[in-house]
Amino acid sequence: MMRLYNVQKCLRLVNKQICNTIIPVRLYGSKPIDYTEIPLERIRNFSIIAHVDHGKSTLADRLLEFTGAIKKTSGQNQVLDKLQVEKERGITVKAQSASLIYIYQGEQYLLNLIDTPGHVDFSNEVSRSLSACQGVILLVDANDGVQAQTVANFYLAFGNDLLIIPVLNKIDLKNADPERVCGQLKTLFDIDPKDVLKISAKQGIGIECVLDAIIERLPPPNAVRGGKFRALVFDSWYDKYRGALSLMYIKDGEVRIGDSVASCHTKKTYEVRGLSVLRPNEESVDKLVAGQIGLVGCNMRSSQESCIGDTLHKTHEEVEPLQGFKPARPMVFAGIYPMDQSQHVHLRGAIDKLVLNDSAVTVNIDSSPALGQGWRLGFLGLLHLEVFSQRLVQEYGADPILTAPSVTYKVILKPTKKIIEDKNDTLFVNNPALFPDHLQIKECHEPMVSGTIITPDSYLGSIISLCMERRGVQKSATNIDNERVMLVYDLPLSEVVLDFHDTLKTISSGYASFDYEDMGYQFSSLVKMNILLNGTAVDELSVIMHSSRVQTMGRKLVLKLRDIIPRQMVQIAIQATVNGKVIARETLKAYRKDVTAKLYGGDVTRRMKLLAQQAAGKKKMRMVANISLPRETFIDVLKK
């Protein structure tokens, strides 16, 4: 009955066309609120999950405005997207939280909202956020309908036993077709159309129904106020003055400033220096109690100290650690090096701090003869890698070099005396330079994913060709309504990480959506292609690939290198080899460059200046096999 009432109430609001009216702003900022006074039954922790661009951040803005956490803004959007990269790219990459106060039937409720990213590369942010929630708003664009990420997010929430409030957004759009999308929700997830709320986040239609549904349909947190203090750390970031700050969900008990707390993971103890709730800006409090989400600062100095998924407890109390979450498994690896070795320390500091805020990134020390000392970082996807490097530049002023992204291959070695003794014949290789010689290899396996594509049927032909070209195997094709099809393909991860998503968007004019999940390893015929310059192999330029790609890739690589390596005093033979056999070859002719040749007479200082510029340029070069390679060569080749 209650659900029906909600739908009807929503529709009534729409019918009255309140779209152009101003949302009532309920400001509670004037009187300080004691959050600890709010009983558990009147707390709701929820998250908004959706496909990318379906309007999560816009809905979060409206909820903040409606509950008076922020003033109604004229056009200023995405209050929770705080990072510069989020604003520039218009996407959410970090989950953010906000505590809202909402008056429902005369009672004060505390709603803790966690805004999550929609892009597939940041799905670990979604799953972490869900661990602090009891329910989710599953937002679907009423025009685009169900997309690949909607399916993935639904199953993520469903698998975590969370209650789901289905909400159709953008009903104000001319082409919105709520009935069709409700039909899709019914076909795919068996969601009763009666339970679906219909809103426009942009125009503020139906926002109150969403808030009411959160209170009516979601349960309060399953927490114990009087128990021993236990809190789950589900996010952390670095503050210049206060060190690592941890965002935590207080499962049981309470914590006050001055308390001594310990980490179940590192066993270290800390004094609580500061506590705050996010509204969405920090608001200091003296104490946090079970059911709440809040920020704790206890002078943690390094990224290793604040572990996502860790349980904090009071030092003198013994507690059972809360269930953490599966650590995200990096899918794409790339080497990262300072532009100049003098910047090594600065880059190390920047990576350390950023990793604290992005726990999905893995860091290992690496070195290369051409690029010097650096690190090998693991990311969840290519966008994740791009965003990470953009944040390094924007937030920490670092200017690193990134090498080609690669995935982790599994190599089974032929038995030798040592291997039999060690009882370990398996190698995991994500750096082509470390790929063993073909004579030592028994067999190779590559990581596979199960990819879901949702597309209008008019693009089906070209999408199927793309998947076949990328060595995909079709598993199923389901009609989700009269025009849309859901395809499921098994695909090698290496074929997906680079540009699959972009190509898919291009061939489907942006209408197809894609999501993938890990499927483990599968046998594959892999080889390492070496690049030789005048007979010397350059490790940084080697690539691991499927044997069917050898001819085309070999040709492409040597041609590209011929174009980007500057001519030198000697002739250079550029060769691509596989298992000792030359696959492709190009020759770069010798050339002597005199930068001052064109200067006749004139001021001697001009001549000196040009020679100095040339010398500075040479410094940036790397000597490989007596050939100077500019650093850019490595990056340009690897960019594809």
Ligand X SMILES: Nc1nc2c(ncn2[C@@H]2O[C@H](COP(=O)(O)OP(=O)(O)OP(=O)(O)O)[C@@H](O)[C@H]2O)c(=O)[nH]1
The annotated binding site is made up of 50-57, 115-119, 169-172
- Pairing mode, if any, of strands 43-50 and 621-624? unpaired
55 binds ligand X (CB under 6 A): yes
Q: Which residues between 494 and 553 bind ligand X (CB under 6 A)?
A: none
Question: For the purposes of burial, counting CB atoms within 10 Å of the CB of 187, is it exposed (0-12), middle (13-18) or buried (19 or more)?
Answer: middle
Work out whether 481 is an interface residue with ligand X (CB under 6 A): no
Q: How far is the CB of 54 from ligand X (least distance, A)?
A: 5
* Residue 214 or 466 having the CB closest to ligand X: 214
**Nearest residue (CB) to ligand X, 95 versus 250:** 95
Distance CA 212, CA 206 (A): 10
- Give the shortest CB-295-to-ligand X separation in angstroms: 22
Q: How far apart are CA 34 and CA 289, in angstroms?
A: 11
Q: Which is nearer to ligand X, 53 or 340 (CB)?
A: 53
Nearer to ligand X, 78 or 577 (CB): 78
Spell out a b/e string for 67-90, using b for 16 or more CB atoms within 10 Å of the CB, else e: bbbbebeeeeebbbbebebbeebe
**Rounded Cα–Cα distance for residues 127 and 230 (Å):** 20
386 binds ligand X (CB under 6 A): no
Choices 125-133, 198-206, 236-244, 258-266; region in contact with ligand X by CB under 6 A: 198-206
Percent helix, percent strand, percent coil in the chain, to nearest 5: 30, 35, 35
CB of residue 178 to ligand X, shortest distance in Å: 12
Strand 293-300 and strand 311-314: the pairing is unpaired
The distance of Cα 390 from the centroid of its chain, to the nearest Å, equals 13
Residue 173 CB, shortest distance to ligand X, in Å, is 5
Other Cβ atoms less than 10 A from the Cβ of 32: the count is: 9
Amino acid symbol at 243: G
Residue of 97, 169, 455, 494 that binds ligand X (CB under 6 A): 169
Q: Is 402 exposed, middle or buried (0-12, 13-18, 19+ CB in 10 A)?
A: buried
Stretch that binds ligand X, among 200-208, 209-217, 224-232, 370-378 (CB under 6 A): 200-208
Nearer to ligand X, 172 or 177 (CB): 172
Asked if 177 is part of the footprint of ligand X (rule: CB under 6 A), the reply reads: no
- Buried residues in 237-262 as b, exposed as e (16+ CB within 10 A): bbeeeebbbbbbbbbbbbbebebebb
Least distance CB 512 / ligand X (angstroms): 17
Nearest-approach distance from CB 479 to ligand X, in angstroms: 26
Tell me the C-alpha distance between 405 and 103, whole Å: 50
Q: Residue 153 or residue 577: which is nearer to ligand X going by CB?
A: 153
Q: Residue 76 or 571: which CB sits closer to ligand X?
A: 76
Residue 78 touching ligand X (CB under 6 A) = yes
Per-residue CA distances from 555 to 158, 306, 561 (Å): 48, 48, 10
> Taking each helix axis from N to C terminus, what angle separates 344-357 and 382-396, rounded to the nearest 10 degrees?
120
Q: Where does this chain touch ligand X (CB under 6 A) — which range of 53-61, 439-447, 608-616, 624-632?
A: 53-61
Distance in Å, CB of 201 to ligand X, minimum = 4
Among 92, 131, 150, 236, binds ligand X (CB under 6 A): 92
C-alpha 413: how far from its chain's center? 34
Minimum distance between the CB of residue 138 and ligand X, rounded to whole angstroms? Answer: 12
Q: Which is nearer to ligand X, 95 or 223 (CB)?
A: 95
Distances from the Cα of 485 to the Cα of 30, 31, 111, 135, 148, angstroms: 52, 53, 37, 29, 11
Q: For ligand X, which residue of 70, 181, 201, 576 counts as binding (CB under 6 A)?
A: 201
Is-contact 291 277, C-beta < 8 A?
no
Binding mask 97-126 for ligand X (x = CB under 6 A): --------------------xx--------
Residue 10: name the closest of 167, 134, 122 by CA. Answer: 167
Q: Candidates 40, 173, 257, 519: give the one binding ligand X (CB under 6 A).
A: 173
DSSP one-letter code for 386: H
Residue 278 contacts ligand X per CB under 6 A = no
Nearer to ligand X, 170 or 353 (CB): 170
- Tell whether residue 140 is a contact of ligand X (CB under 6 A): no
Kindly tell me which residue out of 6, 45, 47, 57 binds ligand X, with binding defined by CB under 6 A.
57
Among 67, 96, 150, 200, binds ligand X (CB under 6 A): 200
Shortest Cβ 147–ligand X spacing (Å): 11
Strand spans (E) along 51-158: 96-104, 107-115, 135-141
Q: Is the peptide bond before 280 cis (omega within 30 degrees of 0)?
A: yes
CB of 614 to ligand X, least distance (A): 46
Rounded Cα distance between 79 and 593, Å, is 54
- Between 169 and 292, whose beta carbon lies closer to ligand X? 169
Choose between 185 and 296: whose C-beta lies nearer to ligand X.
185
State the SS3 of 441-458. EEEEEEEEEEEEEEEEHH
- Which of these segments, 45-53, 291-299, 573-581, 623-631, binds ligand X (CB under 6 A)? 45-53
Residue (177 or 399) nearer to ligand X, CB: 177
Q: Which of 13, 50, 181, 307 binds ligand X (CB under 6 A)?
A: 50
Least distance to ligand X, CB of residue 125, Å: 11
Q: Which of 47, 58, 97, 508 binds ligand X (CB under 6 A)?
A: 58
Binding site, annotated residues for GTP: 50-57, 115-119, 169-172
**Is residue 29 within 8 Å of 64, Cβ to Cβ?**
no
Query: CA nearest 119: which of 144, 93, 87?
Result: 93
Asked whether position 338 contacts ligand X by CB under 6 A, the answer is no
CB 514 within 8 A of CB 530: no
DSSP 483: S
Is 56 one of the binding residues for ligand X (CB under 6 A)?
yes
Q: Of the listed pieces 48-56, 156-164, 232-240, 610-618, which binds ligand X according to CB under 6 A?
A: 48-56
Residues in contact with ligand X by CB under 6 A are 50, 52-58, 78, 91-92, 117-118, 169-170, 172-173, 200-202
